Amino acid sequence: MVVSKQLKKQIVIEVVALIFLIGVLIYAFFAIKKNEENKVTNLDGMVVVIDDSKVTKLKGLSDGEGLEEDGTTYTITNNNKRKVDYKVVIFPDIHDEEVLKQVRVSINDLYIEDLTDLERLNGGYIIASNSLDSGFTDMYLIKYWYKDNSNKEVLEENIEFEYRLVKESGEK
Domain of 87, CATH number, reads: 2.60.40
- pLDDT score, position 35: 47
pLDDT > 70? residue 33: no
Three-state SS sequence of 57-110 = CCCEECHHHHHHCCCEEEEEEECCCCCEEEEEEEEECCCCHHHHCCEEEEECCC
pLDDT > 50? residue 123: yes
**Over residues 132-136, mean pLDDT:** 91
* Cβ–Cβ < 8 Å for 163, 74: yes
User: Is the same domain home to 84 and 147?
Assistant: yes
User: Is the same domain home to 60 and 111?
Assistant: yes
- pLDDT score, position 42: 74
User: Is the same domain home to 132 and 146?
Assistant: yes
In this prediction the pTM is 0.73
User: Is the same domain home to 30 and 81?
Assistant: no
User: Is the same domain home to 122 and 141?
Assistant: yes
**Neighbour tally for 50: CB within 10 Å:** 21
Mean pLDDT (the chain, rounded): 86
User: Is the same domain home to 21 and 3?
Assistant: yes
Least confident of 3-17, 20-34, 86-100, 146-160: 20-34
What is the C-alpha to C-alpha distance for residues 139 and 50, in angstroms, rounded to an integer? 10
More confident residue, 100 or 40: 100
What is the C-alpha to C-alpha distance for residues 118 and 133, in angstroms, rounded to an integer? 25
More confident residue, 34 or 132: 132
User: Is the same domain home to 151 and 130?
Assistant: yes
Question: Quick one: what percent of the chain has pLDDT higher than 90?
Answer: 52
More confident residue, 75 or 40: 75
User: Is the same domain home to 81 and 28?
Assistant: no
User: Is the same domain home to 54 and 106?
Assistant: yes
User: Is the same domain home to 60 and 142?
Assistant: yes
User: Is the same domain home to 106 and 23?
Assistant: no
Confidence category of residue 52, pLDDT binned at 50, 70, 90: confident
Confidence category of residue 47, pLDDT binned at 50, 70, 90: confident
Question: Domain count of the chain?
Answer: 2
User: Is the same domain home to 100 and 71?
Assistant: yes
Task: Domain of residue 104: give its range.
Answer: 39-170
Confidence category of residue 40, pLDDT binned at 50, 70, 90: confident
